[in-house]
Structure 1
Amino acid sequence: MTDRFAQNFRPNRLRALDKPGIKDVRLHDLRHTGNTLAAIADATLPELKQRMGHASDRAAMIYLHATDERHREIADTLSAMAKTELKQARRNQSDTQAEEDPVNDQSPGRERVSDLGFVVGGA
């Protein structure tokens, strides 16, 4: 922060902080809040680095903590993806098993006798 900015900002900041109910707020708190809100608004890491004047990813990533709501959205999306893949895998497994499993072979001369998979007759 430049000295000129600090000189112009400080008097206004002090007046604002004299208002009832506002205490223990630092310039860094405002910076952190602004950049956290930018991250929630889908600002990219390079955009955040530029906004903050950071050269390293590590420094900028401090501001990228997610909200509980965002954690839920991510978890729900991953869960839905996993469920879809699991259903597809089960469907593929059932199709493959039906094609290869002699228990399910209903060709002429083969008869399924029990749930144990015994087959009477042979091909």
Structure 2
Amino acid sequence: MNWLILIIAGLFETGFATCLGKAQETSGKESIFWWIGFGICIMASMLLMFKAISGENGLPIGTAYAVWTGIGAVGGVVVGILIFKEPATFWRLFFVFTLIASIVGLKAVSH
């Protein structure tokens, strides 16, 4: 269950990065809505991360933090490519896949 909570926390990290990017692209009321989304996502991400590492069966902080930031990093690159029209070069995609492999590896060797 803690792994699922951690994955959701990582997705909220991607959400707050997306909201931050959209808030910078917009102005007026639209920008305010993106800033509100940013605040909601960052709070949800942090609270879920805390929940995933807390308690008797909590995940180790080092592993959890690496996986959490990895999910956010991969999500940020994917959102950047799909929404913000960033380039999808071979090397960017290569390193995203190595990051995914590292996240899977940390999950495999964790208790």
TM-score with structure 2 setting the length: 0.32
TM-score with structure 1 setting the length: 0.29
Give the helix-richer structure, 1 or 2: 2
Higher relative contact order (CA 8 A, sep 6+): 2
